[in-house]
Amino acid sequence: MSLTPLQQLDAANHLHPFTNHDDMHRLGTHIITEASGVWVRDAEGRRLLDGLAGLWAVNIGYGRREVVNAVAEQMTRLSYYPSFFNSTTEPAIRLAAKLAELAPARLNHTMFCNSGSEANETALKLIRAYWKLKGQPARTKIITREFAYHGVTIATTSMTGLPSCTAPFDLPLPGFIHAPGPNAWAANREADPEAYGQWCVEETERIIQRESPDTIAAIFAEPVQGAGGVIPPPPGYLRALRQLARKYNILFAADEVITGFGRLGAWFASNLWDLDPDLMCLAKGLTSGYIPLGATMVSDEIAATLKHGGYLAHGFTYSGHPVSCAAALANIAVLESEHLIERVRDDVGPYFQRKFADLATHPAVGQVRGEGLIGAIELLPPGGKSALTPTSMLGVKASNLIREKGVIVRGIRDLIAAAPPLTITHEELDILFAAIRAGLDGMWK
Ligand SMILES: Cc1ncc(COP(=O)(O)O)c(C=O)c1O
């Protein structure tokens, strides 16, 4: 297969994230040229339905003039100014205020950054500073869970509970502890996920006691684990985990990089499940991916400690970038004015989950699971679950078959995941699921 000049240029100069470059360049990079709504178009002129919203990000769909106009206006008026030097800009102030209005009651303070990784990294540093100011500098250890994905910096990779992310870099660093994640399917406990969730919490408590509670700074949790395979919490699990943190005076941080801004039919999973986190990390749906922006929200108590703790030596050149913040404000205005979050809760979310449930009896399907507008299908080989191997990678095979049918989903290990824009219609969902079914039909051929 011969590569186009653009593909050749890509192969010559461009290193991609999370990619096997030899495999990619053998086939030629898939170059996307334009997008509108839930549809993207590639360099060959093919139209594909984006069932993953880019990378779980494009909540309001592609090509919205509201965001484009807000960005153009802001760039024209003030293209950039930092929030260092006792300065800032109006969009950063207004966005921090808007987030305080939307977030759980105690979260009224935001530090901005550029990505989900930086939001978690910022949380880690603010937590360290907080405990030091509180006279408990020994509280430095961080508990996260297996199957967690929290980012790619050295520290946030250390938080990530996926050996494929940590092993190549000899991580995690010391002090990052992984408790079991509530993935009942992977643990062969799918018959009783609730009991498995309870065991995970008990095991987390044993870890806290083993490590000594007063050395633990925080527990971080994605309310629905995303990149680790779309793992919704079993009933009772998240509340119990949150309670556990409270019992030992450990901070609880919700990583809502995927679950924020309507994906689950609420502004945040923390609202939906009453998690009352001490910190919340945001990115992706904050701007629907139009422009990079991340945010770390902290409780009144943490903010008061940091604000009165002297010079706060953290932040990025682009923290609170006015153009990114203007994009976020326009994005939030679209979510509000079109009632997209209620739409996920009452309409497309339930429809999406019903369509997933319809696939549960397909012979190549072991389990379907999801919440709101995010879902996953565990795939089976003809020999059943016991015939799966660590290298079977059925998810990649299925996602390739589904892409041939004109729909983009994500293959992860032996599963496929979908999380389309919140604007998706019933007709588009029908197209999405028809392609998934056709792909599944091809799995055993
Ligand atoms: C839950 C979660 N946290 C953090 C990140 C990292 O975000 P970024 O890729 O913007 O650094 C991701 C990215 O997928 C994520 O899903």
The CA angle 96-82-128, to the nearest 5 degrees, is 65
91 and 46 part of one domain: no
| 159 CA to centre of ligand 1 in angstroms | 12
User: Is 123 within the bounds of a domain?
Assistant: yes
| Rounded mean pLDDT for each run of 10 residues along the chain, 445 residues in total | 92 97 96 98 98 98 98 98 97 98 98 98 98 98 98 98 98 98 97 98 98 98 98 98 98 99 98 98 99 98 98 98 99 98 98 98 98 98 95 96 98 98 98 98 95
326 membership: H or E segment, kind and range: helix 322-337
Q: What is the rounded distance in angstroms from the CA atom of residue 15 to the CA atom of residue 22?
A: 11
| Cα–Cα distances in angstroms (integers) from residue 225 to residues 41, 78, 148, 182, 416, in the given order | 29, 38, 6, 9, 14
**Same-domain status, 173 and 224:** yes
CATH number at residue 360: 3.90.1150.10
320 and 354 in a single domain? The answer is: no
Residue 407 falls inside a structural domain: yes
Q: Which atom of ligand 1 is nearest to the CA of 226?
A: 16
How many Å apart are CA 73 and CA 147, to the nearest integer? 41
- 149 ligand 1 Cβ < 6 A: yes
- The verdict on residue 284 lying in a domain is yes
Both 201 and 319 in one domain: the answer is yes
Tokens of 187: 């643990």
Ligand 1 proximity of 285 Cβ (cutoff 6 Å): no
The pLDDT tens digits of the residues spanning 275-290 come to 999 999 999 999 999 9
DSSP 169-232: GT-PPTTEEEEPP--TTTTT-TT-HHHHHHHHHHHHHHHHHHH-GGGEEEEEE-SSB-TTT-BP
Check if 296 has its Cβ closer than 6 Å to any atom of ligand 1: no
- Whole-angstrom distance, CA of residue 381 vs CA of residue 414: 9
Q: What is the pLDDT of residues 148-191, one digit of tens each?
A: 999 999 999 999 999 999 999 999 999 999 999 999 999 999 99
Q: Residue written as tokens 């998706």?
A: 424
Answer yes or no: do 272 and 194 share one domain: yes
Question: Same structural domain for residues 221 and 365?
Answer: no
Q: Does residue 108 belong to any structural domain of this protein?
A: yes
Mutational test site, ligand 1, from 257, 268, 324, max ligand atoms within 8 Å of CB = 257
Indicate the burial class of 23 (C-beta count within 10 angstroms; 0-12, 13-18, 19 or more).
exposed
Which residue range(s) make up the domain with 371?
31-60+339-441
Position 297 scores a pLDDT of: 99
- Looking at the fold, whether 171 and 307 belong to one and the same domain comes out as yes
Do 306 and 353 lie in one domain? The reply is no
Under 8 Å between Cβ of 122 and 111: yes
The residue assigned the tokens 């389309």 is 420
Q: How many angstroms separate the CA atoms of 313 and 132, rounded?
A: 14
CA distances from 326 to 92, 193, 315, 353 (A): 8, 42, 19, 33
How high is the pLDDT of residue 335? Answer: 98
This model's pTM is above 0.95 = yes
Q: How many domains does the chain have?
A: 2
Sheet holding 141-145, edge to edge: 107-113, 294-299, 279-282, 251-255, 216-221, 141-145, 176-179
CATH code at position 320: 3.40.640.10
Average pLDDT score, the chain? 98
**How far apart are alpha carbons 10 and 28 in whole angstroms?**
9
Ligand 1 contacts CB of residue 222 (under 6 A):
yes
Same domain, residue pair 291 and 421 = no
> Ligand 1 centre and the CA of 260: distance in Å?
12
Conformational region of residue 63, where left means phi above 0, alpha means psi within -120 to 50, and beta covers everything else: left
53 CB near ligand 1 (under 6 Å):
no
Residue 17, domain member (yes or no): no
The CA distance from 121 to 319, in Å, is 13
What is the CA(310)–ligand 1 centre distance, in A?
Answer: 30
* 5 lies in some domain: no
Q: Which of 337, 361, 396 is a domain's end point?
A: 337
116 lines ligand 1 (CB under 6 A): yes
Q: In 3-state terms, what secondary structure has residue 291?
A: coil
Q: Please tell me the predicted confidence (pLDDT) of residue 1.
A: 65
Is 258 a pocket residue for ligand 1 (Cβ < 6 Å)? yes
**Domain termination site, one of 306, 337, 368:** 337
Cis peptide before 182 (omega within 30 of 0): no
What is the C-alpha separation between 408 and 418, in angstroms, rounded? 8
List Cβ neighbours of 192 (8 Å cut-off, separation of 6 or more).
184
Give the E-state strand segments of 263-408 in sequence order. Answer: 279-282, 294-299, 365-371, 374-379, 407-408
Ligand 1, atom 1: nearest CA belongs to which residue?
257
Residue 79 Cα to ligand 1 midpoint, Å, equals 26
CA of 149 to the centre of ligand 1 (A): 7
Are β-strands 39-42 and 47-50 bridged in parallel, bridged antiparallel, or unpaired?
A: antiparallel
Are residues 186 and 284 both part of a single domain? yes
What does DSSP say about strands 107-113 and 47-50: parallel, antiparallel, or unpaired?
unpaired
Q: Is the CB of 256 under 6 A from ligand 1?
A: no
Task: State the distance from the centre of ligand 1 to the C-alpha of 166, rounded, in angstroms.
Answer: 15
Q: Is residue 22 part of a domain?
A: no
Q: Is the CB of 371 under 6 A from ligand 1?
A: no
DSSP string, 351-382: HHHHHHHHGGGSTTEEEEEEETTEEEEEE--T
Q: CA–CA distance from 285 to each of 17, 219, 394 (Å)? A: 20, 23, 28
pLDDT at 183: 98
Assess whether 175 and 271 both reside in one domain. yes
Q: What's the 287 CA to ligand 1 centre distance in angstroms?
A: 14
- For ligand 1, whether the C-beta of 226 sits within 6 Å is yes
**What atom in ligand 1 is closest to the CA of residue 227?**
16
Which atom of ligand 1 is nearest to 292's Cα? 10
Ligand 1, residues 159, 258, 268: which to mutate, most atoms within 8 A of Cβ? 258
Both 220 and 260 in a single domain?
yes
Return the best residue to mutate from 263, 284, 290, 318 for the ligand 1 pocket (most ligand atoms within 8 A of CB): 284
116 Cα–ligand 1 center, Å: 4
Closest-lying ligand 1 atom to the alpha carbon of residue 120: 4
Q: What are phi and psi of 230, to 5 degrees?
A: 50, 80
Nearest-CA residue for atom 7 of ligand 1 = 116
Among candidate residues 337, 368, 402, the one where a domain is terminated: 337
User: 3 in a domain, yes or no?
Assistant: no
